[in-house]
Structures are given as C-alpha cells and as structure tokens.
Chain A
Amino acid sequence: MSYQDKYEMVCGVETHVELATKTKIFCACTTEFGGEQNTHVCPVCLGLPGALPVLNREVVNLAIKAGLALNCEIAEFTKFDRKNYFYPDLSKNYQTSQYDLPICKNGRLEIEINGESKSIGITRAHMEEDAGKLVHSGESITTSDSSYVDYNRAGVPLLEIVSEPDMRTVDEVIAYLQELVQILDYAGVSDCKMEQGSVRFDVNVSLRPLGSRELGTRTEIKNLNSFAAVRRCLEYETERQAKVLNKGEKVIQETRTWDDSQGVTLSLRTKEEAHDYRYFPEADLVPLKIDPEWVERIRATLPELPAAKRERLKELGLSGYEAGVLTSSKAMADYFDRVMQNYADAKVVANWIMGDLSALLKANNRSFEDCPIKPYQLADMLKLIKKGDISGKIAKTVLEEIYTGGKDPAVIVKEKGLVQIRDQDALEKIIAEVLAQNPKSVADYQGGKEKAFGFLVGQVMKATQGKANPELVNKILKEKLQIAY
C-alpha cells in the first residue's frame, strides 16, 4: 500500500543557490567558506546603525547568466524589496530580496524519465541575501537553552529559483534537482557544493485523489541539503499525508522540518500566526535597468550546457548512460573534452575516465577539479597503449605513478623499464625456459587441463615483470606447446 494507489503527488521546489562571487551581495566582505565565526563581517552585513548596502555587479551578472541557462526571460526593470520578519540570524530583522519584479521569470528545463522527456517550468528566479548561521547549545533547536549566531554567511548572495508545481513523482523531483544543479554548475554561477550548503532545497508537496485536477493542501519542508534527503523526505511526507487523508482528516498547511536521524518530518508551528512579510520597496538601493546589450554580453559567456553536451557525446558513439556519467559534473565533462583533443577515441577515453581514473580520485578524496593527472598525460598514456609500448594492465600502474609523481607516462615507462617486450626472439627464449621449469604444467595442459595454460602465461608474466606482450605470449606459448605435442 503506497500513497500512489489512491493519490497523485504534486510537488514544486524552491532552490536557494549561493552565487559564486568573491564578495557578499551588499558589502565587500569575502564569501569564502569556513572562516572563524564573525570574522567575515562588517557594519553593512552586521546591520550596524547607519550602514548602507551597495549592490555587487557580479551578482547581477550571475543572476542573468543563470536565468539564460534556464531559458528565462530577463526583466528589463527590476528592484529590491524588504521581507520583514524577526529572527536572530537576520542582522537587520529584514531580508533584502525581490518581491514583485524578480530579475528572471518564465523559464524551463527538460528532464528524462523512463526514456521520455518532460519539461519542468521555472516560475521565477530572484536575487536575495543569505542569513547568518545558528548553532544550538543542545541537540536541536527545540532542546537548546541558548543559541549562538555567526554572521559570516549573512549577506552571501543567493539566487532563489522557484519551479512550477510540475513534478508528479519523487523520481521526477530528483531528476529536476539533478539537472538544475548540473546546469548551474556548468554555467559557473555557483560552486554547487551541497555539503557546504551552496545549494539548499525547500519542497512544497501535496496530494490529490487520482484523476482530480484540483490541488490539495500543501506542506513546505525547508532546508534540505542533498538529493538523498529530498528523496527520503518526500517518500515519508507523501505517506504521512496519505495516512491523514485516508482517515478522512485534512492536511494542515504548514512549514515542517526534516529530521534525518529519525526519518520524519516535524511540525514547526509556533504560537505565532502566519507570516505577513510586509514587503515594500528597498529605498536604500536603487532599481536596475537591464538593457539587451548587457544580456547578450552575458549570453556570450554561457558554455555548452549539459543537455547539449550529452547529445554531442552520444553523437561521438557513447551510450546514453556513458554520456550521463561523463556530464554529471562540468569538471569531469571538461576533462573528457580535453583528453579527446589529444586522443580522439571516445569509448576508450570514456572507459578510462569512468573507470580507473575515477576510482583513483575517489580513493584519494579528490575530484576532476583538482585531478593531479593532466588530460594530456592520460592522452599520452593511451597513445602508448595503442602503440603497443605497454599493455592495458601495465597502464594501470603507470596511471598511479603519474598520480603520485606527476611525471609524464613516457618518462615513467622509460625510467621503470616498463616497455612491453615484443621482441619475438626474446620472448621465445623466456617461454622456452618457463616450459623447461614447469614440466608438470606442460604435461597437464597437454593432458587436457586448460587451466594449466593460464598458469604458464602467469609464469611468463612473472618472469618478465608483466612486461611481456600478452598477445605474443599467447601465440608463442600455443605454438611451443603444440610442437611439444
């Protein structure tokens, strides 16, 4: 019994993205992550009396860029408004945001579900400032006697991207979020480091009886910071709402929080009534007029976006799956492209990047952004394999050597004497010796044991420190064993 037996889910997501600027939205404090508490603050972001905001040009540039990447209309006239509410992480007890004239609207992105394409609408995207961070003295906010505020994050620029409530299954929601984050990553508008809170999701979800066209009552769950959390949360919340509705009761419209350790959503309702944010125009800032030239200048800086890149990779002969993995991060996709510039075999390059190289990076907690193996080095190594200088197996060792030592593959192969032995005479000599030293295996093989062949191959490899060309070894060994026969 799942909610899907009786109900359809309707879901929309508000995504908060930290824009990749050096300084905050209204002051010149650094946006660098992880500074000691209250060391990246100034009179403006602390809300000291008399301090005034000045808008960071790069915030507008990145907002336009994100809007273009999401197929939005960019407003010709846009302004800031104050969203008024009291909370200790808000240094002025209002957030400078945008209300009725957001910088972007009417966008969309495409997701793929079960091989079918679906368009998800983007209602709007607007600029706003982030709040500070709260740390609680106890286990959670509800069990703490006191809390501690760090305003380093206050004033970091955010883009709030609001989707249409177009998603109908949890898979669709995840697909939307993955594609959205990928697009933002590619566009370079955010570092998209979810573990650092660069991207956060608020989901709005409701149920309605199957076949109904009306919207049910929705709940909002704020501040989810991973795809997994969104999935788990939605799976729980849909069942919770279904239980309520099945009992004949009404779902209460409210904000809830996701408790990952307990695996439940919890109500955040307090004695206070619903928020009236009393939005009004921010008079300490002046409005923006965005002319077409500005928009075109930004459009010219957009790189190839994920969907287009995936298409191009498929045209190069890669499967949909391979294209998907390679484009899952911009850094990985760029790496692939750069290797391809020097070694243009898509399948081979894809295998190495997706396989050994990824494993190596993962084991060392690195990513394609700071990969110690340069793309040309991987390409050179592949050329050596193709030439026959090294086998695929040896290449794995070479790869590790490049990783730790940074030297070029040709240098490593030379220094370690890893060049494959392809000299027919040399191999014949070595094989003859191996056969002479293993008469029992020879007899076993000739007596019909296939496995003995493998053992003998292994002995040859051992004798040549793995450098013997495997195809030649196979050929010569077979010949010799036959002769013996």
Chain B
Amino acid sequence: MQLYTLTVHQLSELMAQKKISSVELINAYLERSSKIEHKIQAFITHTKEEALAQARIVDAKRMQGEELSPLAGIPVAINDNICTAGLKTTCASNILNSYIPPADATVVTRLKNAGSILIGKTNMDEFGMGSSTEYSAFTPTKNPYALEAVPGGSSGGSAAAVAAGEAAFALGSDTAGDIRQPAAFCGVLGLKPTYGYVPRTGLISYASSLDQIGPLARDITDLALILNAILGHDPKDSTSATVDVPDFKAGLVNDVKGLRIGLPKEYMEAGVEGKVAAKIQEAVKQLEDMGAICVEVSLPHTEYAVAAHYIISCAEASSNLARYDGVRYGLRVEAEDVLSMFMQTRSQGFGDEVKRRVLLGTHVLSSASYDEYYTQALKVRTLNKQDFDQVWTQVDCLLTPASLTTAFKIGEKAQDALAMYLSNFCTIPVNLAGLPALTLPFGLADGMPVGLQLIARHFDEQTLLRVGYSLEQNTDQTSLKPDLDRE
C-alpha cells in the first residue's frame, strides 16, 4: 500500500510502531508530488526543505519517547489564504503575490503545536471568490479524476492535493461551500465547522460573517482528529465561540438507529443531475437499512439563499478588500499621485471576478441601494435561519447533495459569473446560517465522484461524524481514489 494513500490515523499508527519515520513519510509525499503535481497543479508554494527539517525534529522527539499528538509528523497542505509566518501567502492573487505574513494563523499554530508538517500552500480561486479554482491568478488546478475537469473551488487545490496523495490532509476555507463542493468534486471528505468554532485569526478575510476554516481528509476518523486540534476559542478573534470542544475521536459512534434525517425537498427539486440524485437515493436507502428515519422536510427560503448570500458576501468583500492599495504591503504600481496609485494597483492586482464582486458590493452598500439590497438580504438571512430552526424540531440532521452536478469541465462556467455562483446552490444556505456541514464521498457517477452533504445543528459536529462514520463503516462508497498513473 502506498503511503500517500493512507489515512492520518493509519500513518500515525505506523509511526508510533516505528515502522516508518516522518522523514520517510514526507519523502514519500514529495516523491508523489514530483510525479503528478505537474498534471494537477494543486500547489502555489512547496516547502520541501522546511518540511524535512520539521520531520527530523518530530522523529527525534519520538525517539526520545515523547508523547506525540496523532497529527505529529503528518504532512498537511494549507490553503493560501491562511497566513503562515515567514512564508509567502498570496490568496492566489497578484496583489499579494509576494506578501510574507509576520505571524501564523491560529489554526497553523495549533497544527504546528500538534507536530503537523506543512508541505505546501495550495491553489484557490483568488481571495476565495469562485467555485472552480479557475479564478486563481496563477494557474487553474485540475481534478485528479479527470484532468479536463475542475476540482471545484475555492479550496480546489486543497481538495485535489488530498485526493491525489500530495498531502495526508488539508485546511481550506469555506464561505459559500468552498470546502464542501471541491471535496465532493474530488472525492474526499470536507467539513465546514459551525461559524465561530474555528478561529479566523490569520485567515485573510473575504466575508467576515461567512468565512470559516475547515479540514479536508480521507476519512471520518481523520476529520475527528483534525477537529480536536483546530477547534476552540481564540481571544484574538471577537467572533470566536466559547463553546467547549469535545473529543471528537472518542465520540465516534457507528450507529444511526432512530436518528431522524431530513431530506429538504427544495434541494432535490432544484435540478439535481440524475446520476447524482441516484447516489443520494442509494445513501438514503443505506441509512434506512441501518435504522435511521429519513423524512422529507422543507426549507422554504432555499431558492432565495444564493441571492441573499451574493449581496452580503460581496458587500463585506468590497470593504475587506479595500486595504489592498499598495501602501503597506503587496503589489504597488507606481504613480504620480496616490489616487492613481490606488486605482492602478488595484486594477492590475485584482482579477476579473474579484473586481466584479467588489463592484457589486460597493453598489449594494451605496446609500441609494442599501435598503433595497443589503438590508433586504440581511432579513432574508434571518428567514433562512428560521427555516433551519423550524426543521431542527423535526429532525437531527439533513441530507442533501453537496452539488447539483459532478465536476464540470474547465472553461464551462468560467465566463458566466452567475452560473458559477449558482453552482453553490446546495452549500450556500449553510453558510448563511453558520451551521456545520460535511461532504462525504459516496461513490462515482460516470467515473466522477459524488458527494453527499450532511448538515447539523450549531456546534453539533458530532452528529455529522456519527452519520458519516456509520456510512463509512458499512459501505465501500466513501473511500475513493483517483487513477493518476494512467497517461
């Protein structure tokens, strides 16, 4: 069995038994990258030397009998909008193409404290704005299952890296489904935690009230281990929740008997591709066979969620991206006066999609439009939340497709911003409500991965893991591997 296909907990076990060292492990992953990265282009920055240096340190600690975390010595890929001290962090944008943060994001510190080895920063849609990673200012990333297909976005590089065996797990960020949709397209697991459960300190903001960092990995146990490490309060983030973090690994349970699972009809009626719908039905049957109770429910404002989200996220983005002006860091286009410098720097530094969203956001916040668009969107957000509150009185978990289709082709939607945004139809309502949600791979359709989405109440990640674990342990649908050795 190739090391680059094993899960974190399997690798951790092997290292604990001294069957492999971390250095060997890192080298295995680096070798894998050297063979396939040119096809996938999942990474913006590789950290080969530093990774090996860190691996040697972990090995030394293990030799001395130190007690190590299950994530120690394991290679992780991190989305390039998460700050890493001393290491270029670009958001896949020209405007930050040589930006070096002075400090690690909180999640990075937590992973480093657990002994994880940073193996590289991954490609993404510029500033998190996009659903295919085609809007990266540098290069598009390819889907490991079909190189002419997109990996999804915006955390496409992270999903592709885990799927292709270039990292054992990854961190992505999710504002509109940007972890869950690429996870579905690339056949890996992706989890967006409850808003506030993972600190945003060091996450380069797109939309403050929607952004969340989350893990991508190969199985449920891995997700549990990563959540154990990265969740929890951070006094440097005012929106950070003070809710306790349970031991997710210890809490894993293979049992869904009596669990009430809702199937929101608005999702299934929204034009799900037939082959995707078929996999959803399979999953429902499997769950019922295992004793869960699956019922249809309704989230009546689902069709309005994309519009509301579009307005809110663009409004916040237009303000969060105002700081990129060439004065203190990042790209500067020289000019005679400051106004010209701002205009030219931002025009050259931002890609089309970023400009579109900044323009839209600026427009909806202008005094003439504010009430009509922005205030209305905030009210629809409340209605969206109330839909979920209502549904939680009937069920404990929701099951939907993670995406209406499997991965689309590169170039298919890139010119149609609206179509691109709409491809997040299934994932957006979750961001608006701040709920936790998981993408679980569930087999292939025409050779491309299909992902289920599970949604739970605020701070109830444990139910997501429970359903995921049960499906994982009782089917062979959730563990997929791309065939990258074909030519």
Contacts and interface: CB of A to CB of B under 8 A. Distances in A.
Direct contact of A and B (CB under 8 A): yes
Interface of A: 43, 46-55, 82, 84, 86, 88, 91-94, 147, 149, 276, 278, 280, 283-286
Contacts of A53: 238
User: Top 10 A-B pairs ranked by shortest CB distance?
Assistant: A93-B322, A278-B365, A283-B209, A283-B208, A49-B204, A50-B202, A92-B323, A50-B83, A47-B323, A50-B204
16 contacts: A47-B328, A48-B101, A48-B329, A49-B99, A49-B323, A50-B82, A50-B202, A50-B203, A50-B205, A54-B236, A55-B238, A94-B319, A149-B327, A278-B366, A283-B208, A283-B239
A48 B91 CA distance: 13
Residue picked from A50, A88, A93, A149, most chain B C-beta under 10 Å: A50
Contact of A284 (B89, B238, B327, B366): B238
Given A50-B202, A54-B236, A278-B365, 13 more contacts: A43-B102, A46-B328, A48-B328, A49-B83, A49-B89, A50-B83, A50-B200, A50-B204, A88-B327, A91-B328, A280-B370, A283-B316, A284-B205
A250 B9 CA distance: 78
B368 to A, nearest CB: 8
Nearest to A83: B319
A283 B316 CA distance: 8
Given A48-B329, A149-B327, A86 B205 contact: no
Nearest to A49: B204
Interface in B310-360: 315-316, 318-319, 322-323, 325, 327-329, 338, 342
A82 B325 CA distance: 18
Interface string B78-120: 0000110000010100001001011101000000000000000
Contact of B319 (A46, A54, A280, A285): A280
B101 A52 contact: no
A149 B103 CA distance: 23
B374 interface: yes
A69 to B, nearest CB: 28
Given A280-B315, A280-B365, A280-B374, A52 B236 contact: yes
A149 to B, nearest CB: 7
A86 B99 CA distance: 21
Contact of A278 (B83, B235, B362): B362
Contacts of A88: 327, 338
Nearest to A149: B327
Contact of B201 (A52, A55, A278): A52
Given A50-B203, A92-B322, A94-B322, A284 B101 contact: no
Interface of B: 82-83, 89, 91, 96, 99, 101-103, 105, 200-205, 208-209, 235-239, 315-316, 318-319, 322-323, 325, 327-329, 338, 342, 362, 365-367, 370, 374
Contacts of B205: 49-50, 284
A49 B80 CA distance: 12
A77 B138 CA distance: 46
Nearest to B200: A52
B322 to A, nearest CB: 4
Contacts of B362: 278
Nearest to B211: A283
Residue picked from B91, B319, B342, most chain A C-beta under 10 Å: B319
